[in-house]
Structure 1
Amino acid sequence: MTLDPDLRAAVEAFAALPTVLVATDFDGALAPLVLDPMDSRPVEGGMPALTALAALPGTTVALVSGRAVGPLRQLSGAQKPILLLGSHGAEDSRRPDGLALSDEQRTLLQRLQDDLAALVEQHPGVRIEDKPAGRVVHTRGLDPGASSAALEAALALGARHTDLAVTPGKEVVELAVAHVGKGVALMALAQELGVDAVFYSGDDVTDEQGFEALADDQDGERAARRLTVRVGPGATTAQHRVADEPALVEVFRTMVAARRGAQAGGATVD
């Protein structure tokens, strides 16, 4: 598979920087979207490429997902030192205590659980994914009319509970009692690490928040060095686009080779 020449040049320039954060969404970017979220698996070659990147000096690799950290670790097979930011950044695999909810948030989560039970009765075929800080309404596999009605009902439920963070996506609506956002999480991690630049790839609405946050980075030099890639179709603010998950794997493989070469030769880009 051949990368677009402009993307290849951007990857090679990024790979030559001294310290970088390489982050990616999981579903729809590293793993194809599937009917049952627990059947999701990373496309061939994706995790080996990320593992190879994580082993290189000055390179931090992170999976940034709407999934909870536990299922994300299970399905991706990611091992340390790869970081996992789950629940849209509300969970961090480096935190042994996981996600701490207040009594008010736990009460709201129980009310949400009861309301969603009624929603499932009214919209057969809808699936509910449990997360530590919320629930996700999945309609993938339903006919378009049924899917649209169920998603509208989920959005209406979110509107009734004003303390919920409501995040729509591809045939999903997430309702969370605690929400950080991928953009905020990416910027916090970049700031903490003090990296020269950040790479981020993804395919959905929440990933667009990540692309926008990196473009708006208050560190102007880091913003100028960012590398953002949209996976698949759809309007985007990302700098580049690849067709699908295997094409993203080729980006990671190119980055591994370029970074190894740059480090062996002692080259860096200002």
Structure 2
Amino acid sequence: MTLDPALVDALGAFAAHPRVLVATDFDGALAPLVLDPMDSRPVEGGMESLAALADLPGTTVALVSGRALGPLRQLSGAQDPLLLIGSHGAEDSRRPDGLALSEEQRTLLTQLEDALRAVVEQHPGARIEDKPAGRVLHTRGLPPEVSGAALAAATAVGERHTSLVVTPGKEVVELAVAHVGKGVALVALAEELGVDAVLYAGDDVTDEHAFVALAQDTDLARAERRLTIRVGDGESAAQHRVNDERALVRAFEVLLSARAGRSNDGG
């Protein structure tokens, strides 16, 4: 599979930095989007490439997803030392105590559950995904007019409960009582690790927020060294683009080869 030469050059330059964070979304980036979210599986070679990268000196690898940590670990098959950042940054696999909600947030979560159940009753075929800090309404596979109406009804729930954080996506809308954001989480992780550069790949609205956050990192040198990749079509703030999940895996393989060669050379 042939990558854009500009991306290949960028991967080579990124590989030369001493300490890097390589991060990617899961659904739509490593794993094709499917009707049932629990049927999602990474494409061949994706997790293997990331695991090999994580074994290299000075290389931290993270999956950054809107999914909760449990399903993300189960579906990806990720093992240490890969980091998992779930629930749009609200969960971190290095912190086993999990997500702590206040009494007010737990009450709001119960109200949210009731409201979305009513949406599903009014729009048969829509589905609810449970997360520790919120709920997600899925409409993939429904006729456009049914999907649009269900998503609009779910969004209206967020408008009625102004404490909720509403995050739209591809035939989904998430409503959360606690939210960090992928971009905030990535910049904080980069700062904590003291890396020189961050690579991030993704395909959706929340990933666009991450692309922008990395470009606006207050560590200006790290922001300049970032490498952001949009998977699929659509307008994007990312610096580069690949066509699909398999092309992203190819990009990781190119990065692995370049960075492993640098390690073998004693760089």
TM-score interval for Structure 1 and Structure 2 normalised by the shorter chain? over 0.9
Q: Percent identity?
A: 75
Residue 200 of structure 1: aligned partner? 200
How far apart, in 2, do the equivalents of 1:262 and 1:3 lie?
Answer: 21
How far apart, in 2, do the equivalents of 1:21 and 1:81 lie?
Answer: 13
Matching residue's letter, 1:223: A
How far apart, in 2, do the equivalents of 1:131 and 1:260 lie?
Answer: 37
Residue 256 of structure 1: aligned partner? 256
Matching residue's letter, 2:115: D
Residue 179 of structure 1: aligned partner? 179
Residue 66 of structure 2: aligned partner? 66
2:129 aligned with 1:129, yes or no? yes
Matching residue's letter, 1:216: Q
Specify the SS of the correspondent of 2:241: strand
Describe the superposition over 1:112-171 as per-residue Cα deviations: whole angstroms up to 9, x where unpaired.
111111111111000000000000000000000000000000100110000000000000
RMSD: 0.6
How far apart, in 2, do the equivalents of 1:14 and 1:173 lie?
Answer: 34
Matching residue's letter, 2:121: E
Specify the SS of the correspondent of 2:85: strand
Which blocks of at least 5 consecutive residues in structure 2 are unaligned?
Answer: none
Residue 26 of structure 2: aligned partner? 26
How far apart, in 1, do the equivalents of 2:164 and 2:93 lie?
Answer: 23
How far apart, in 2, do the equivalents of 1:217 and 1:13 lie?
Answer: 19
2:155 aligned with 1:159, yes or no? no
Specify the SS of the correspondent of 1:228: strand
Comparing 112-121 with 38-47, greater Cα deviation is found at 112-121
**Length, aligned pairs only:** 267
How far apart, in 2, do the equivalents of 1:23 and 1:215 lie?
Answer: 15
What TM-score does the superposition give when structure 1 sets the normalisation length? 0.98
Describe the superposition over 1:181-210 as per-residue Cα deviations: whole angstroms up to 9, x where unpaired.
000000000000010000000000000011
Which blocks of at least 5 consecutive residues in structure 1 are unaligned?
Answer: none
- 1:145-156 alignment runs, 5 A limit: 145-156=145-156
How far apart, in 1, do the equivalents of 2:222 and 2:118 lie?
Answer: 47
Matching residue's letter, 1:33: L
- 1:166-245 alignment runs, 5 A limit: 166-245=166-245
Specify the SS of the correspondent of 1:23: strand
| Paired residues of 1:16 and 1:263 also in contact (CA < 8 A) | no
Specify the SS of the correspondent of 1:168: strand
Specify the SS of the correspondent of 2:162: coil
Specify the SS of the correspondent of 2:84: strand
How far apart, in 2, do the equivalents of 1:189 and 1:227 lie?
Answer: 16
Matching residue's letter, 1:14: F
Matching residue's letter, 1:41: R
Specify the SS of the correspondent of 1:50: helix
Residue 104 of structure 1: aligned partner? 104
Runs of 4+ off more than 4 Å = none
Q: Alpha-carbon deviation of 1:16?
A: 1.1
Describe the superposition over 1:27-69 as per-residue Cα deviations: whole angstroms up to 9, x where unpaired.
0000000000000000000000000000000000000000000
What TM-score does the superposition give when structure 2 sets the normalisation length? 0.99
Specify the SS of the correspondent of 1:22: strand
How far apart, in 1, do the equivalents of 2:110 and 2:172 lie?
Answer: 20
Q: Alpha-carbon deviation of 1:266?
A: 3.1
Q: Alpha-carbon deviation of 1:10?
A: 0.3
Residue 56 of structure 2: aligned partner? 56
Specify the SS of the correspondent of 2:70: helix
